[in-house]
Structure 1
Amino acid sequence: MEIERTAHGSATVLRCQGRLTMTSASRLREAVDQAVQDGRHRLVADLAETEFVDSSGLGALVSGLKRARQCGGDLRIAAPVEQVRTVLSLTNLDRVLRPYPTVEDATRDW
């Protein structure tokens, strides 16, 4: 998995490309930790190019959400593909990590 970090207004976008699984979840955690350490507490995980997510990947997203909220921020997910939306729905995590159709939608009220 590749994670590209960019700024989008007051938010930091973490564009995740590939499979978010047990072997790559630590990279997302590290990217979130680095952004928070840099004072960037409004995070968007852009999942448009994330083709698959497993339970470890979900754990990394929830961990990132918790980390951002501890600092007064938030983590939102944008543009999840069908497989990711299905997993979020089946686990009811779509109630906590509400998916937004685009990065722009995710950052609209920031």
Structure 2
Amino acid sequence: MATQAPPISLTVETERKPECIIVHLRGRLVSGVCSFLYNKVHCLIPDTKHIILDFTELEWVDSMGLGTLVRLYVASKSAGVKLQLINLGPKVKELLGLTNLLGIFAEMGEKGFTHF
């Protein structure tokens, strides 16, 4: 009996603009896909001074996903790159608030949480 591969829970599309790189996330940022996202975004850091993570179609983030966002924040900040989160859904925004991470990402200003 063949085993089925688990469904892919996250897709990532990159959109390059002159002033920034927008990373569109779709699905669930959960254990098992976090290193994929980290590697995909981390390699963009040398190419820009502004990375936007668009959460419009992101349904959920678990604790591993939160850790990945913090790792990306630290790597970006260390390189002088602005990491911005936009279009947070209510579940994701609540989770960031409950874990006191909303304040860390809010350092970018309230514009970080609006539509782009």
Shift of 1:41: 3.2
RMSD: 1.3
Unaligned runs of 5+ residues in structure 1 are 105-110
Runs ≥4 residues deviating over 4 A: none
Aligned-pair identity in percent equals: 25
Unaligned runs of 5+ residues in structure 2 are 1-9, 107-111
Listed one character per residue, the Cα deviations across residues 55-91 of structure 1 (whole Å, up to 9, x for unaligned) are 1111111111111111111211000111101100101
Shift of 1:20: 0.2
Contact 1:14 1:31 survives alignment (8 Å): no
TM-score by length of 2: 0.81
Instruction: Please state if 1:27 is matched with 2:36.
Output: yes
Instruction: Please state if 1:86 is matched with 2:94.
Output: yes
Listed one character per residue, the Cα deviations across residues 28-72 of structure 1 (whole Å, up to 9, x for unaligned) are 1011111014x2231111011000001111111111111111111
TM-score by length of 1: 0.86
The equivalent residue for 1:100 is: 113
Larger Rg: 2
